[in-house]
């Protein structure tokens, strides 16, 4: 990566000279002149005496003059020093404050980085959990599909048996020579069968409706799973609740399927009892007992007892 540069620019050494480092004096305007300069003078001055001093005019023994430092110069230099001192203190204070702010900013960024890493790990873990839950939901949906297909096959078988029972009922209704008691028994059995068929159809319709609701619920669960991948734990709890509801619906569906099987067994027993009655009436008229009532065969009595026990169960 890129190397770190300095956060603050290093303070440069001041170019302003300190106090008493120089003595400002009036400049000599002609000191810059070097060589011969002719400024509005007569080149040939033969009549005027020369202004150049002669030999011996200079006193070589005198001490060199030292420029005097005035009070105004000293006060201005001390003021400059004080101003510079204040600037240095202000810069040091700003440097310390900037260093503290940099340290605080660095600590804040470190804490934010740790929180972001922790959040990323939590999001990854949630995504894995949601993926596992989605796989479990898919497996349950496949099981429900298998159960619905088996129930549909059972429904087709029940319809075939119902058609056969209807055909037998039509054949039995065409026989008008049977006794009134047999007709009453058949009518009662037929009414019970119709009631059971209606109840079974109602249960089958409820099962189909619950299956459609489960499919819709699965679609909603899949849509929620897409939303749950970027959200918090609340929606995960909703997914768990949906899973519990699916398990409850699966248990209810299993119980209703068992009830449908038991109803099918009852219908088969009823059909067998009707066949026994028809065979018995075709073979020979039923004998009468001492009281004048007809004596039914043992098999018919046995079927009737089984039917009553199944109804009580």
**Cα separation, 245 vs 220, whole angstroms:** 13
**Cα separation, 54 vs 68, whole angstroms:** 30
Spans of all domains in the chain: 130-285+294-312
**pLDDT attached to residue 283:** 63
- Give, for all 313 residues of the chain, the pLDDT tens digit: 556 766 777 777 777 777 776 666 655 555 555 555 555 555 555 555 555 555 555 555 444 444 444 555 667 788 888 889 889 999 999 999 999 999 999 999 999 999 999 988 999 999 999 999 989 989 889 999 888 888 888 888 988 988 988 888 888 777 666 667 777 888 888 888 888 888 888 888 888 888 888 888 888 888 877 777 767 666 667 778 888 888 888 888 888 888 888 888 888 887 887 787 777 766 655 555 556 555 555 555 555 565 555 555 5
**pLDDT attached to residue 97:** 92
pTM recorded for the entire structure: 0.23
Give the Cβ contact number of residue 186 at 10 Å. Answer: 20
Greatest alpha-carbon pair distance for the chain in Å reads 196
Give the Cβ contact number of residue 177 at 10 Å. Answer: 5
**Cα separation, 172 vs 162, whole angstroms:** 15
């Amino acid at each position: 990566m890129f190397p770190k540069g300095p956060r603050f620019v290093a303070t440069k050494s001041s170019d302003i000279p300190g106090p008493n480092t120089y003595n400002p004096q009036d400049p000599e305007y002609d000191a810059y002149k070097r060589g011969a300069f002719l400024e509005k003078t007569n080149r040939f001055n033969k009549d005027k005496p020369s202004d150049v001093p002669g030999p011996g005019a200079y006193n070589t023994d005198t001490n060199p003059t030292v420029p005097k430092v005035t009070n105004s110069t000293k006060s201005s230099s001390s003021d400059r020093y004080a101003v510079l001192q204040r600037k240095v203190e202000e810069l040091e204070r700003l440097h310390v404050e900037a260093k503290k702010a940099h340290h605080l900013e660095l600590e804040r960024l470190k804490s934010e980085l740790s929180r972001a890493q922790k959040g990323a790990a939590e999001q990854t873990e949630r995504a894995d959990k949601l993926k596992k839950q989605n796989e479990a939901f898919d497996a349950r949906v496949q099981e429900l599909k298998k159960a619905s297909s088996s129930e549909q096959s059972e429904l087709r078988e029940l319809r075939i048996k119902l058609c056969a029972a209807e055909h037998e009922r039509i054949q039995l209704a065409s026989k008008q020579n049977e006794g009134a008691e047999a007709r009453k028994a058949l009518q009662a059995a037929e009414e019970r069968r119709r009631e059971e068929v209606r109840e079974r159809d109602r249960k089958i319709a409820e099962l189909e409706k619950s299956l459609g609701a489960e499919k819709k619920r699965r679609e909603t669960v899949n849509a929620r799973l897409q939303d749950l991948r970027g959200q918090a734990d609340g929606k995960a709890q909703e997914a768990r609740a949906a899973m519990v509801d699916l398990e409850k619906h699966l248990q209810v569906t299993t119980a209703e399927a068992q009830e449908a099987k038991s109803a099918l067994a009852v219908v088969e027993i009823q059909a067998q009892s009707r066949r026994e009655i028809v065979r018995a009436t075709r073979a020979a008229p039923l004998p009468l007992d001492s009281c004048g009532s007809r004596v039914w065969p043992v098999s018919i009595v046995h079927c009737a007892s089984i039917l009553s026990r199944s109804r009580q169960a």
